[in-house]
Amino acid sequence: MDEMTKYERVLKTMRCEEVDRLPWSTYLHSHVHDRGVPQFANYTLNFHKRFDPDYIKVMMDESYDSPVNVQYCWDINVWNRFEPLDPHIGGFGRQLENLKIIKDAVGPDVPVLQTVYSPFHWARRLSWQFVNHYRQDAAVVDRGVSAITDSLIAFSRACINTAGIDGFFYGMFCCEPAWMTEEEFVRWSIPHDRRVLSVMREAPMLITHIHGPEKCYFDACKDLECDALSWEDRTAGPSIAQVRKISKKGLVGGINIQTAIKATAQEVYNEGMDAIKQADGRGLILSPGCTFHVDTPAENMFALKRAVYDAGKAGKK
C-alpha cells in the first residue's frame, strides 16, 4: 500500500478502513506565557514539528468570557446573567486567529482538530458548586448553560467556516460518579452535548472524549454523534478490546497517562503495542487516554510513534 497523507490515514482509521499504518497523536496543555496571538499558534506548531503526530489536537487554554465582574458563579442567580458570546472576539476570537495561523502553516494534508470543552466542562470551571446549583434549581442553571451551549455552537461554526479546520475533539465532563449520577448526567448534560455535536458533525472529523480517570458513563455516551471515541481505557474502562466488539466507531487511546509519567519508554511502547493488538490492528488512533501530564518524558511520547511504525512494518510482512 502506498504511503498515505496524515489526513487520509486519520480519516480512514476513524472509518475502520485499511491504512498503511495506524495513526498516533500526543498533546499537552500550553503554559500561561504561551497564550495570545501568535504565541499559542507558535507553541502548537513547534510541538507538532517536534513530535510529528498524525493530527494536530489544538488545545483550548483560553478562559471562558464570563459576564462583567463575574469570575466565579458563587450564587445560583449569577447563571441568569450569561448571554451567548460572539465567537470572533475575546478568548474565542483569539483562538480563531491562532487556528487560521496553524491551518495555513500545515496545509491540507495534516488534520487540525480543535478541542472544544462541553458546556458542563465550562460550567464546572465557572463554579465548583454548579451541580448543587442544578439540584437546587435546574431551570435557572440551565438558562446559563444554554447560553454557553449557544456560544460553543457559534464558535464551532466559526472554526469550520472562518478557520477552515478539519474537525473537533469534543471533551465531555462530569460524565462520572465523582460529579453526578448517570441519570442526572443524561438528563442535564446530554441534551446540550447533542446540540453542539450536531454542528460539529458538519466537519469531516469528530472525536468525542468521555472524561473520567476512574469510571465514566461510557454507555451513556458511546452512541453520540461522532467518528471516534476517546476515553481513559486503562483506568476507567471498558477496555479497547471490549469496545471493539460493540462499536464500529474509531477508537482513540491506549496509553495510561498516570503511569506514563514515571514509566520507561519501553513500558509505554509495550502498552501501545498491546492496545494495537486489542484493536485487532484497525480503527485505532494510538494516543493518551487523556492529555499527557506536563512532566511526561518526551521519549515516552515518542514511544507511541515507534509502536505504530513497528506494528505497521510487522503487518506488511
Asked if residue 45 is part of any domain, the answer here is yes
Asked if residue 286 is part of any domain, the answer here is yes
Say yes or no to pLDDT of 173 above 70.
yes
Q: What is the DSSP string of 176-190?
A: STTTS-HHHHHHHTH
Asked if residue 55 is part of any domain, the answer here is yes
Asked if residue 305 is part of any domain, the answer here is yes
Q: pLDDT (tens digit, 9 = 90+) per residue, 51-91?
A: 999 999 999 998 899 998 888 999 999 999 999 999 999 99
In this structure, is the dihedral angle defined by the CA atoms of residues 212, 216, 221 and 222, taken in order, positive or negative?
Answer: positive
Contact 251, 284 (CB under 8 A): yes
How many Cα neighbours within 13 Å face the side chain of 39? Answer: 9
φ, ψ for residue 244, nearest 5 deg: -60, -30
Confidence of residue 184 (pLDDT cuts 50, 70, 90): very high
Asked if residue 282 is part of any domain, the answer here is yes
Domain count, the chain: 1
pLDDT of residue 316: 66
Q: pLDDT (tens digit, 9 = 90+) per residue, 84-118?
A: 999 999 999 999 999 999 999 999 999 999 999 99
pLDDT of residue 317: 57
Q: pLDDT (tens digit, 9 = 90+) per residue, 216-266?
A: 999 999 999 999 999 999 999 999 999 999 999 999 999 999 999 999 999
Range of the domain at 144: 6-316
Asked if residue 14 is part of any domain, the answer here is yes
pLDDT of residue 31: 84
Asked if residue 1 is part of any domain, the answer here is no
CA distances from 121 to 38, 63, 83, 150 (A): 26, 12, 17, 14
Contact 232, 212 (CB under 8 A): yes
Q: pLDDT (tens digit, 9 = 90+) per residue, 8-45?
A: 999 999 999 999 999 999 999 988 788 899 999 999 99
Q: What is the CATH number of the domain that holds 233?
A: 3.20.20.210
% of the chain surpassing 70 pLDDT: 99
Asked if residue 234 is part of any domain, the answer here is yes
